[in-house]
Structures are given as C-alpha cells and as structure tokens.
Structure 1
Amino acid sequence: MRGWFGQAVGGLPRQFWLLWTGTLINRLGSFVVIFLAIYLTADRHFSQSRAGLVIGLYGVGGAIGTTVGGVLADRWGRKPTMLTAQFGAAALMLALGFAHDYGQILAVTFLLGVFTEAVRPAFSAMMVDVVPDRDRVRAFSLNYWAINLGFALSAVGAGLAAKVDYLLLFVVDAGTTLVTALICLIFLRETKPTVVVKQRDSGGMITVLRDRVFMTYLLISAGGIVVMMQHMSTLPIAMTSEGLSAATYGWVIAVNGVLIVLGQLFVPRLIDGRSPARVLALGSLIIGVGFGLTAFAHAPWFFALTVIVWTLGEMIQSPSNATTVAALSPPSMRGRYQGLNSLGWSAGTALAPIVGGLTQEHLGNAALWIGCFAVCALVAVGHLAAAPSRERRIRLLGPVEPVLDEPTIPVPAVAEPVADAPPSHAR
C-alpha cells in the first residue's frame, strides 16, 4: 500500500500540490452553480423560463471567459489571469447573492460566468508548465479526483446551507474562491514560458483554429461529450418514465462520484505508458457500452449498473484527454489551446440536451441509448484513425522541461525508477 501510494502521489512538484489544494478548496465551496436553478425558482420566485435564461447567460459568459482567459494566459501570464478571474468571481458571487432585480441578476450572472470560467485555461496551462511529460497522467488523475471529491461534498454542503439561508450559498462560495485566490497570490509563481519556440504566436486564436490535428481531436471528442452529458438531461427523464422517483435518480447518479473518488487513484498505474489514442478509444467504447445498456434498464439496480460501466470508461479517459491536449499544445500557446478545449466542452454540454431531447422525444429511449453506443463507437474509431498524425505532432513539438525547478515529494524505493519510463511521445 505504501508503494502504491508513493507511485500515485510521489515525485510531483510543490506548485502542482498548491494548484491541487486550490482545486479542492474551490470545489468544496462550489455551491451556487449546483443550486442556482432552485434558488431562482424557489427563493426569487422566477418562472422556469426566466430562470433558464439566467442559467443560459451564465453558459454564454463561460464560453467567452474560456476564450478570453486562454488568450490572456499566453499574453499576460498565468498568474495575473488567474488572480483577476478569481478575485472578480468572488466579488460577483457576493453581488449575485444580494441582487434582487431580474435585470441585475441577468447582468451579474453573465459576468460571473465570464470570470469563473476564465481561470480554467490559465490553471490548466500552469499545471502543464510545471509537471513533466512523464508525470502528467498521474497529475491530471489526481486533479480529476480532487474535482469529484470536492463536488460530491459540496453537493451535501449546499443542501445544508440552503436550509439555513440561500445567501449562505453565495457567501461560502465567494469565500472558498477568495481563499483559492490568496493561495495563488501568496504561494504560486508565474510559469509562462519565456523561451522562443518555432510556432508563430502572432496569429492568436486563429492559429489554433488552423491547427487541423488539434481541431480534429476536438471534433472527435465532441461526440463523446454529447453522450456523457446525457446523464444530466435525458437519463433522469428516462428513469422517471419508468416510474422511478427523483430521489432514486439522485442515489443512482451518486454512484458515479463515489466510484471516481474510490478508484481514480488506481487509474494511472493501469494506463501509464500506453498509447493515449488507444486508451481514449477503449474509454469511449466502455462509455458507449454503459449508455447502450440503459436501453434495457428498468429497475434501479440496472440503472446503477449502467452508471458503473460508463464511469469506468470516464475514469480512464479523463486523464488521457487532458494529457493529449497538453501534448498537442505549443508552450507559448498553451492557454489558448486549453481555452479552446474548455470551449469545446461547453459547446458539447449545451448541445447534449438538445440532441438527446429531440431523439428521446421523437424516436424513444431505446433509440437514444443505442445511438449513444453508436456515437461512442465512431469516436473510438476516430481516435485510432487520428493517432498517427497526433504522434507526429507530439514528436515534432518534442518534450518540454518544466518551467520551474522545484522540490518534489520523493517516490519510495519500491516504485519504478523514472529511467524505465517510456519516451514521452508514446504517451
């Protein structure tokens, strides 16, 4: 157990653990997004359509924020972008809690989406800057674990806070965002690369959009995102059509978070050193099988089984997704690449309920879930077909040393020596 724990967390730089701590703290207090719809309808007494417009504006602001945040992270720097976004988000969170007029709530929510999401590209770019190629699978797995642990606990905390006073949701959320900003201000160092690279930086976001290898990767991944996001839109509808309650859906979907928290730290040992394209393809197939099995689910235990299956695919796919984006990003443009990747997730999340809802309404649940399997199978084929071009791009960019030379937590002697690790282009 000591050997496994050392292999899971050892050898990572101090700045990574500061980023990881900030992620966990911020997610522990992510109350508002979880309960925003309930707050707007139950406490502010807005109609469902008006509440939906508010939430939609948050998504529009988030799409703008990820794009602008990515550009600023490359041109201005990772740390100033993160600080501006975090302090701004904390102030706007409090402002939203005290806003009463519908117009004010619309404006503040839109700006909150911009500032909240603008931090993500800079955060991801900084993590790539400080973690060596050989450790990125472990690093992104650990960060993904922290995100899910924080989210699971915040859902419980948000429910308790809402019983006391809805304003407490905004205060706690702003407080944890402020603590994360202070960690960034006091402890984190700037990591924006200063070396001259081959890729031209003057083209801005247009340069990224012209990167056919990366854009092909985003297009292939979009199919998987649309399928994954069905668990938030069409799955609860399918379960209620079987006569199951909302509470049943709650504990069934909670299986996803529990499984990730219990098992994510074991994933790096399973996929480390393997071809990322093959891991992505396998993860897509497993996700497809999980959602495809939903076509035959009628009882709660069967729905829970399908969640277990597609969660396993999600667990092995998530770190490989993150490392692939990192490997395809030129050092001087990491923020923009991360921003466009986040924008792709936002677009897929917005498209998922539309496509899924239309399919479910006009073709039925069985067609929806079988279609999800077919889409994931096509995504798997796409990852395998695109693998040679990705590998050529990664070899062309070559391995990049971390920006900061920092002390690391040593790996116990029972762990495999670093010299035995496969070359970075094999990841």
Structure 2
Amino acid sequence: MKKLIAIYIDSFRGLSNAAWLLAIVMLINRMGSMVIPFLGIYMTSSLGFTLENVGLVLMCYGLGSVCGSWLGGWLTDKVGNFIVQAVSLLLSVPLFLLVPEFKDLQSVCLMIFILSLVADTFRPANSVSVARYAKPENITRAFSLNRLAVNLGFSVGPAMGGFLATYSYAWIFYGNALAAGIAGIVFIAFFWNKKGNALPISKKKETDSLVKDPSPYKDLPFIGFSICCCLFSVCFFQIMSTLPLFYKDVHHMTEPQMGVIMGFSGFIIVLFEMFVVHVAEKRLSVVRTLVYGSILCSISFLLLNVHAGWSMLYVAIFILGIGEMLTLPFMATVTAERATPSTQGAYMGLNALSFALANIISPFFGTRIVSNFGYDTLWYGTSALLLITGLGFYYTVKRLAK
C-alpha cells in the first residue's frame, strides 16, 4: 500500500507551476459543467422537444464545436493561445445567460450552435498552452493533470446542476455562466505576459531543417489517427447525450440521482488518473495503452445491457473511467509530439476537430437508434465500434511511429 501511495505522489512530481495554474483555471471552468449533461433532459422535460429534436439540437452543438475547434486552432497560430482562451471564456458568459430565453426549436438550435462555437475555440488553445508550459519529459502527465482538473470539476458540476434543475433549469445556465466568468478572470490574472518554456533542442532543429512546416491536413498517418479519435469519441460522447436519457427512461432516475452518478465518473478519474497514466507511461507503449483503453470502454457499454440494477450502472461507469484514463491523455500526447512548434495550433485544432465531429455524429445517430431500435441495440453497437477503434489505433499509431 505504501508503495502504491509513493507511486501516486511521484506522478505529480516535476510538473511546472504553469501546468498547475492551467489546471486551476480548468477546474473553475468545469465546476460549472451543468448545461451539457442535462441539456437533453432540459429539452424533453422543460421545452417538450421530441427525442429526434433533441438529437438535432445536440447535432447543432456538435457543428458549433467543429467550427470552434478549427477556428480556435487557426487563431491560436495567428494571435496566440492567451488571447483565444481569454476571449472564449469571457464571451461564453453572456451566451450562457441568453440561452434559456429561447424556447422554440430553431432559436435553440441557433443559440446552442453559437455557444458551442465560442466555447470550443478554447480547446485547441488550451491544449497548446499545456504543451508549451509542460516540461518535455512529462508532457503526458501535464495533459493528465489538466484532465484531472476537468474531471474534478465535472464531479462537482453535474451534481450541483442536478439539484439546481429541481428548482429551475434556467439555474444550470446561470451557474455555467458564473464559472466561465470566474475562470476567465483568473486565467488573465495568472497568465498575463507569461511566456512558455523554451522549445526543446530537437524540435528547434527539426523546425530549422524544414523549408515549410507540414500541414496536419496533408499528414495522412495523422489523419488516420484523428479518424480513430473521432470514432472513439462518437462512442464515448454517448455519456453526454443518450446515457442521461437512458438513466431517466429505463432506470427512472431523478435529476439529483443522475447528477450523482455522472459526478461519480469524474470522481473516479480524479482519484486514479495520475496514477494510471504514470504506470502506463513506465510499463506500456502508447499503442498498447490506447488499445487496452478502447477495450475497457467497449466492456463498459456492454455492461449497460446487463439489467442488474443501479449497482451495475456504477460498475460500468467505473470501467469506462479507467478506459478513458488510458485513451484521452495519450491522444493529446501523440498530437503534441507529432506537431512542430509553429504548427501546434493547427495539429491541436485538427485533433479537437475529430472530437467536435463526434459531437455531431454521436447524438444524431444515438437518439435515432434509440427511437427506432431501443437502448440495447445502441449499447451493443457502441461496444462493437469501440473494438474496431482499438484495432484502428493499433495500426495508425504504429504507422505514425515509422
């Protein structure tokens, strides 16, 4: 036990002060993660939308995410990650406050698209910040620390949102706005005129040797890797679209009960991610880590079809959390190490684009599969697609290594 604790503590050593400051900003921002987990429930319960309409609105959210991810990557290379992150956080505040004022399908679709567009310009810029401020030897752990902050916030946000929703769904939008505003102010205070670490010598030599930096959109092995990231995300993002509806429709959970189980997912990652990533870095190759993580996620969705009460739901979420720890941080590491210093924004933007595209595909097909074939079919299909994605990671990462 002492050895395990020592390994866990060791996983935090060597991280730069800037990496910790970025994690604090992310923690504050994600503590307001109340809207997206309950957006489907809000639309069906409060606005009276059909399941197909919910899928359409969530698809608009994904479309805004696609545009925001591309725009964020492009702007980061043009004006720098600081300006992009600060503007994204501060502009999100009035948008969150405005969304509950719109009630019909067309206006909700438009507002959710704009909100997602503005909010998701933050992602590639933030990833570039993590890569720039991290020490080269622990870049994966720096991304994991950032994700730990995300999930610590996410373990609080949905739980708070579940209780606020019992009074009024409008309060989840107000809470999200408050968190984004505080995060923006804290970010500006922490990183005003703060410069990143010096570029590693190997990266400098690599950059100097190139007449023109390669574009990620012409990097075929990386495009193949990004497609696998997209397929993984199509499956994983069911936790934000159809899984809350599954909890409500099949297991008859209330909003506070759904908030607790979604918060449990984040809590598991907070407890174990740094430890799991630290061990995986030392004992597993990147390709094995991604494959094992995909397999565990596949098992977790399969368990949703085992109708053994709420205890099985918590087991499934626990396994999904372990699988997530073995995949998402290493996806970011592969992307950061593939890019040159002057194309980090573009590479992070393309990687974020793969997640954003999944935000379109996942709710659109997920809600329609449920409407026509039921939840069991959705979970079997999701489990199978994750196994296929694991094979895809095996071949694409091997090719990237060559």
The one of 154, 176, 181 equivalent to 2:179 is 176
Question: 1:229 aligns to what?
Answer: 237
Mapped to 1, the partners of 2:140 and 2:126 lie a distance apart of 16
Map 1:42-81 → 2, pairs under 5 A: 45=47, 47-48=49-50, 54-81=57-84
Q: In the alignment, residue 387 of structure 2 is paired with which amino acid?
A: A
Mapped to 2, the partners of 1:263 and 1:99 lie a distance apart of 40
- Offset at residue 318 of structure 1 (A): 2.1
**Bigger Cα displacement from structure 2, 274-283 vs 161-170:** 161-170
Mapped to 2, the partners of 1:47 and 1:360 lie a distance apart of 15
User: Who wins on radius of gyration, i.e. which is larger?
Assistant: 1
- Offset at residue 23 of structure 1 (A): 0.1
Instruction: State the Cα RMSD in Å.
Output: 3.4
Contact persistence 1:201–1:333 (CA under 8 A): no
- SS of the residue aligned with 1:9? coil
- SS of the residue aligned with 2:11? helix
Q: In the alignment, residue 384 of structure 1 is paired with which amino acid?
A: Y
**Bigger Cα displacement from structure 2, 95-104 vs 334-343:** 95-104
Query: Quick check: 1:265 aligned with 2:274?
Result: yes
Question: 1:33 aligns to what?
Answer: 36
The one of 232, 241, 245 equivalent to 2:252 is 245
Question: 2:88 aligns to what?
Answer: 85
Question: 1:404 aligns to what?
Answer: none
Q: In the alignment, residue 378 of structure 1 is paired with which amino acid?
A: I
- Offset at residue 292 of structure 1 (A): 2.9
Change (3 A) 1:355 1:333: same
The one of 215, 220, 226 equivalent to 1:212 is 220
Query: Quick check: 1:112 aligned with 2:115?
Result: yes
- Offset at residue 309 of structure 1 (A): 2.5
Mapped to 2, the partners of 1:361 and 1:164 lie a distance apart of 29
Contact persistence 1:197–1:332 (CA under 8 A): no
Query: Quick check: 1:123 aligned with 2:130?
Result: no
Change (3 A) 1:67 1:301: same
Question: 1:153 aligns to what?
Answer: 156
Change (3 A) 1:328 1:104: same
Change (3 A) 1:312 1:47: closer
- SS of the residue aligned with 1:246? coil
Query: Quick check: 1:327 aligned with 2:333?
Result: no
Q: In the alignment, residue 75 of structure 2 is paired with which amino acid?
A: L
Contact persistence 1:264–1:315 (CA under 8 A): yes
Mapped to 2, the partners of 1:5 and 1:70 lie a distance apart of 33
- TM-score normalised according to structure 1 size: 0.78
Task: Please list the CA deviations of residues 23-53 of structure 1 after superposition, one character each: whole Å capped at 9, or x if unmatched.
Answer: 000111233334445556666x464476665
**Bigger Cα displacement from structure 2, 382-391 vs 358-367:** 358-367
Question: 1:351 aligns to what?
Answer: 361
Query: Quick check: 1:306 aligned with 2:313?
Result: no
Question: 1:135 aligns to what?
Answer: 138
**Bigger Cα displacement from structure 2, 5-14 vs 243-252:** 243-252
Map 1:92-107 → 2, pairs under 5 A: 92-96=95-99, 107=110
Task: Please list the CA deviations of residues 273-326 of structure 1 after superposition, one character each: whole Å capped at 9, or x if unmatched.
Answer: 331111101111222223234444443333433333232212222221221121
Q: In the alignment, residue 327 of structure 1 is paired with which amino acid?
A: E
List runs of 5+ in structure 1 lacking aligned partners.
393-427
**Bigger Cα displacement from structure 2, 106-115 vs 343-352:** 106-115
Contact persistence 1:218–1:341 (CA under 8 A): yes
- SS of the residue aligned with 1:10? coil
Mapped to 2, the partners of 1:168 and 1:357 lie a distance apart of 26
Matched residues, number: 387
Contact persistence 1:201–1:332 (CA under 8 A): no
- SS of the residue aligned with 1:25? helix
Structure 1 vs Structure 2: percent identity of aligned residues? 26
Mapped to 2, the partners of 1:250 and 1:157 lie a distance apart of 7
Question: 1:288 aligns to what?
Answer: 298
**Bigger Cα displacement from structure 2, 354-363 vs 290-299:** 354-363
Contact persistence 1:193–1:332 (CA under 8 A): no
The one of 367, 386, 389 equivalent to 1:376 is 386
- SS of the residue aligned with 2:95? helix
Contact persistence 2:134–2:197 (CA under 8 A): no
- TM-score normalised according to structure 2 size: 0.82
- SS of the residue aligned with 2:121? helix
